[in-house]
Chain A
Amino acid sequence: MSLRGRVAVVGAAESELGEVGPGWTPLDLIGQSTLRALEDAGLRKSDVDGLFSASPYYHMPTLSVGEYLGIRPRYTDASTTGGSSFVSHLLHAAAAIDAGLCEVALITYGSTQRSDGGRLVSGSEPSPYEAPYRPRYPVSMYALAASRHMHQYGTTREQLAEIAVAARGWAKLNPKAYSRDDLTVEDVLKSQMVSSPLSVRDCCLVTDGGGAVILTAAERARSLRKPPVYLLGAGEAHWHRNISQMPDLTVTAATESGPRAYEMARTGPSEVDVAMLYDAFTITTLMFLEDLGFCGKGEGGPFVEGGRIAPGGGLAVNTSGGGLSYNHPGMYGLLLILEAVRQLRGECEGRQIKDAEVALVHGNGGVFSSQVTAVLGSEAAL
C-alpha cells in the first residue's frame, strides 16, 4: 500500500528570521513557529500527538521541545540526518499517521546561531582520519566535490556563481529574505575565497530562524482551514558520513532518494512545477539538479547558465531565495518544506509560480551524506 496522498501538510509557519537578537533561545523560535502553524491549520496544541525534531542545541530534541511546548506525544522521532532531517520527518510522520500511531504530527526546528555569534552550531564529531588535516567543516568537503566536478565536467566558477545570482533574484521578491541587495556573477567571483573554489557568496547564510509544519490524514485535512498540501511521495538514501568515504564526489545518494520519491508519487522531474533543492553551497544545487533528473550528469553548469533557475527562467528553483539568500539557520530542511507549501497554496505573491501543483523538496545532510526527497502536491495533483 502506498503512502501517496494519504497524509497532508495542514499548517506551516516560520518563526522570526534573520537576527532575532539576544534573549531568544532556539526553543523560543520553535514555540513561536508552532503557535503560528497551529493557527494556520486551525488546530490546538492539544491536538498534537506526534512530535518530530532534530537539533544541534538539544541532545534529546523531542524531549526538550515536548517539555517546552507542553506536548505529551504518543509518537516521537528525533531522527538526525543533518539538514535533511526534517524532510525525512515528513516521510516518517506520514508513515506513523497512516499506521494510526498518531493523528496530528508536528515537525519543528529553531536556531539562534547568528545571535549566538554567527558561527555554525554543529554537533558533528571530528573524524580522526580527517581532523589532522584541519578541513573547515563543512565547506572544505563541499569544495572538494566542487573541484572534482569542475575537473571532470568542465564546470566553471561562473556557472556556480549563476546559482547564487539566481537565488538572489528570488530573494528580491521575498520580503522575508535576509539578503536582498544586488548581486552579479562578477560580485560572486570577486568575493572572499573561503575554501577554494567556493567563495563566501557560494556559501549559505548564517542566520537565526525556525519553523513548524503540521500534518494529518488527508480526510481530516480537508476539513481544516487551509487547502491541504499532500505528500505524494518521499524517499531516503545515505551512502557515507565522511567525505573521504563518498564513493564518487560528483554523484550523491539523491540518485536513489529521487527515484524512490518519484515512484511513490507516480511522477518525474518533467512534472515538477517548482523545486526546492537544499542550497548550502552553490555546488549542492548544481549536483541535485543533475541527480534528481532535471538535467544529465555533468550538465548542471550549462543548465543553470542564462538565468535558467532565476525568476523568469525555465525552471523555478528555491523561490524563497534559498539558503544562499533567504535564510539558513544551521539546518535548512524545514524551511524548504515551508516554501513548497506556500507555493502549492498560492501564497507567494510576487514570486508565486502560476498554477503550481507539484513541488519537489530535496534535503541534504552532513557532507553530501544524507539525501531525502519529497514530492508534495495540491488537490489537483492527486
Chain B
Amino acid sequence: MCLVDLEEGFRMMSRVEGVTAEEVGIGAQVRLRIEDTDDGPVPVFVLDGTEVKR
C-alpha cells in the first residue's frame, strides 16, 4: 500500500504490483496498470525501473 503522486496533478492511494515492499523506495517512478479483481477493475502501479529524486 502506498501513495502515488501523478503527473496529472493529484495523489492517490494504490499498490505497486510485482515486487516486494522492500523493493519499492519513496521516489520510485511508477506506471499505471488496471487490474481486474473480483470487485471490478482497480488502478494499481508497476515500477518504471528508474529512480527519480522528488
- A-side residues, CB < 8 A to B, are 127, 129-130, 132-135, 140, 144, 147-148, 151, 196, 243-245, 249
Contact = CB atoms under 8 A, between A and B. Distances in A.
B32 interface: no
A151 B51 CA distance: 14
A244 B1 contact: no
Interface in B1-29: 1-3, 11-15, 21, 26-27
B26 A148 contact: yes
Contact of B1 (A129, A135, A148, A245): A135
Interface class of chain A by DSSP: helix
B36 interface: no
Contacts of B21: 196
A271 B52 CA distance: 43
A147 B27 CA distance: 12
Nearest to A242: B13
Contacts of B11: 244-245
Given A135-B1, A243-B3, A243-B13, A147 B26 contact: yes
Interface residues of B, number: 14
Contact of A134 (B1, B2, B27): B1
A43 B2 CA distance: 52
B26 A135 contact: no
B46 to A, nearest CB: 15
Contacts of B15: 133
7 contacts: A130-B13, A133-B14, A135-B13, A140-B1, A151-B27, A196-B21, A243-B13
B51 to A, nearest CB: 13
A249 B13 CA distance: 13
